[in-house]
Amino acid sequence: MTVRLLFFSVLKDLTGIDETTRSLPSGATVADLLVDLYAQWPALSEWDSSLLTAVDQTYVKRSEPLHENCEVALMPPVQGG
């Protein structure tokens, strides 16, 4: 299956891109996707404990299954001012 990835804030700086697509096996979860991304961009793993993830604009846990053509957003923690 193919998913669309969006990177925000410092995560965009770490990857050098703001958007890409990724092919994953059927039944993959957010956690599976993160393992794949950390292999390509090891610096992302430094954000692992505080990373926010959303699938189709809804915040989800890492156990969330992904589906064909879903949009996955990866964000650092929200900061107030």
- Which pTM value belongs to this model? 0.92
pLDDT-derived band at 77 (thresholds 50, 70, 90) equals confident
Exposure string for 15-25, b = 16+ CB within 10 A, e = fewer: beeeeeebebe
Q: Show the domains of the chain with their CATH numbers.
A: 2-75 (3.10.20.30)
Mean pLDDT, rounded, for 29-47: 97
Share of the chain above pLDDT 90, in %: 94
CA 52 to chain centre: 8
Mean pLDDT, rounded, for 22-27: 96
